[in-house]
Amino acid sequence: MSGRLALGVLASGRGSNFQAIVDEIEAGRLHAEIRVLVVDNPDAYALERAQKHSIPAVHVSPQGFPSKDAFFCAIADELKTRGVELVVLAGFMRIVRKPLIEAYPYRIMNIHPALLPSFPGLHGQRQAVEYGVKISGCTVHFVDEGMDTGPVIIQAAVPVSSDDSEETLSERILRMEHRIFPEAIRLYAEGRLRVEGRVVRIDGYGLRDERVVNPPLR
Ligand code: GAR
């Protein structure tokens, strides 16, 4: 890919992952541009972040459509109109439906706050604390029609202490999310991801390459 990768970001709330992507782009470490931020919630703090960085943002309300499919069709139209090549779900709290998945096959990435396939769905961090696992983490994966079931791109491990609450573990996982999400987008932008079945092959990453599990701190 020669030009900048055109991104469309979907978010529902705080938008710290959105911010991490913006920061990597502005620091010149991610060769991409955000064409649009789409939120499903008019109060999402991500909107203020977009405004601060002069990134176009739109609110698409699910209430304005007769069905979930129609809502996702409208989002797909918005993204296509703006020339988006890769869709990034940065804390977007809805299950993506067929019209968007078919518009962007293997071109939608999601960040999940657990080591999939453990603890899919809502509150991945709470599920990990309640289960008592000693290691959790986060996963960036391509989106398919299931809930958090698509091919895994990068994962990072995070230790869990028996003293952890949902909040303390969430904070520790979030710091790692902010590292691996831009890294996964960078790999895509560099044309280094290949999906074979449900396995994502990363050109230039060896089997024992630690960056796959824990990317380098900058
Ligand atoms: C993040 O922890 C993300 O992994 C999670 O929501 C949070 C959004 O934070 N996403 C999911 O649970 C998706 N099922 P942010 O708005 O600050 O990026």
From the alpha carbon of 19, which atom of ligand 1 is closest? 18
From the alpha carbon of 17, which atom of ligand 1 is closest? 18
Q: Which of 159, 156, 140 is nearest to 148 (CA)?
A: 140
CA-nearest residue, atom 2 of ligand 1: 113
Ligand 1 centroid distance, CA of 18 (Å) = 10
Which tokens hold the place of 5? Answer: 């990768």
Q: Could you give the residue numbers annotated as active site?
A: 112
How many residues are listed for the chain in this entry? Answer: 218
Ligand 1 centroid distance, CA of 23 (Å) = 17
In order of 46, 88, 136, the CA distances from 52 in angstroms are 10, 20, 33
Does the pTM surpass 0.75? The reply is: yes
Q: Which of 81, 100, 95, 83 is nearest to 12 (CA)?
A: 95
Which residues are CB-contacts of 113 (< 8 A; sequence separation ≥ 6)? 124, 125, 138, 170, 173, 174, 177
**9 vs 91: CA distance, rounded Å:** 10
Other C-beta atoms closer than 10 Å to the C-beta of 177 total 24
Ligand 1 centroid distance, CA of 113 (Å) = 7
Find the residues whose C-beta lies inside 6 A of ligand 1: 11, 13-17, 90-91, 111-113, 124, 174, 177
Judge whether residue 1 has pLDDT over 90: no
At 86-121, the pLDDT tens digits run: 999 999 999 999 999 999 999 999 999 999 999 999
At 122-153, the pLDDT tens digits run: 999 999 999 999 999 999 999 999 999 999 99
